[in-house]
């Protein structure tokens, strides 16, 4: 019901993209917070998250709507991109990872259903990312990425799989149902550009 009301409000503003423009240009903080609430409630209807700080060069094409689309705040997406349903374009907030950070997508890219692009990954111009591909390294201009056979990587010690986010006090990680403030300076420094 709340998402339905949010949808009516979004359309009264002239649609999703007009609401994004209002959020970006609003100088009155209480009103901006109302716009943000409506924006995120609207996306919740589709099981989606598109951070209001995502920078689009032009409006992308979502052939199947926003269903299941996740795009981390701060992501840069070039012009004339096509993004299918259940795509994740997410930040990597794992400490000491080679790709800690946020993706950058070039112009004229086609991102197939279920594709995942994670971390400080640069996708060049005129690229195709095939359905269900996982991309964690840079892709040069004019390239196509397709899936290959699944492989397992086994290590002798367990990886650090904590999930981090930024709080006013610094990075926090989720453990046993609580958010815990990270105190290890090396981990904090590793996450400064990622969160």
pLDDT digits (tens, 9 = 90+) for 80-112: 999 999 999 999 988 888 889 999 999 999 999
pTM: 0.78
Residues 3 and 70 in one domain: no
What residues contact residue 27 under an 8 Å CB cut-off, 6+ apart? Answer: none
Residues 35 and 55 in one domain: no
Do 195 and 90 contact (CB within 8 A), yes or no?
Answer: no
Average pLDDT over the chain, rounded to whole? 91
* Domain that includes residue 11, residue range: 1-45
Do 129 and 139 contact (CB within 8 A), yes or no?
Answer: yes
Residues 29 and 57 in one domain: no
pLDDT beyond 90 at 123: yes
Residues 98 and 27 in one domain: no
Position 173 in a domain: no
Provide φ and ψ at 111, rounded to 5°: -115, 110
Residues 12 and 52 in one domain: no
Secondary structure in 3-state letters for 112-148: CCCCEEECCCEECCCCEECCCCEECCCECCCCEECCC
Residues 88 and 6 in one domain: no
Q: 135 pLDDT band (50/70/90 cuts)?
A: very high
pLDDT in the model for residue 1: 64
pLDDT in tens, 46-73: 999 999 999 999 999 999 999 999 999 9
Residues 57 and 40 in one domain: no
- What 3-state DSSP class applies to 169? coil
Residues 63 and 35 in one domain: no
Number of structural domains in the chain: 2
Domain CATH code at residue 74: 2.160.10.10
């Amino acid at each position: 019901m709340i998402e339905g009301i949010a949808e009516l409000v979004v359309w009264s503003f002239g649609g999703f993209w007009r609401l994004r423009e209002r959020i970006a240009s609003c100088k009155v903080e209480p009103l901006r917070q109302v716009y943000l609430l409506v924006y995120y409630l609207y996306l919740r209807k589709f099981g989606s998250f598109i951070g209001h700080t995502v920078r689009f060069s032009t409006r992308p094409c979502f052939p199947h709507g926003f269903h299941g689309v996740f795009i981390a705040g701060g992501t840069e997406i070039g012009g004339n991109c096509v993004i299918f349903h259940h795509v994740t374009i997410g930040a990597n907030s794992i400490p000491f990872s080679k790709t800690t950070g946020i993706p950058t997508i070039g112009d004229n890219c086609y991102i197939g259903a279920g594709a995942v692009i994670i971390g400080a990954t640069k996708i060049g111009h005129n690229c195709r990312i095939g359905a269900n591909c996982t991309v964690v390294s840079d892709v040069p201009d004019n390239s196509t990425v397709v899936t290959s056979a699944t492989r397992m990587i086994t290590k002798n010690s367990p990886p650090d799989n904590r999930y981090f986010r930024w709080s006013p006090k610094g990075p926090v990680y989720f453990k046993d149902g609580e958010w815990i403030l990270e105190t290890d300076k090396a981990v904090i420094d590793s996450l400064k550009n990622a969160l």
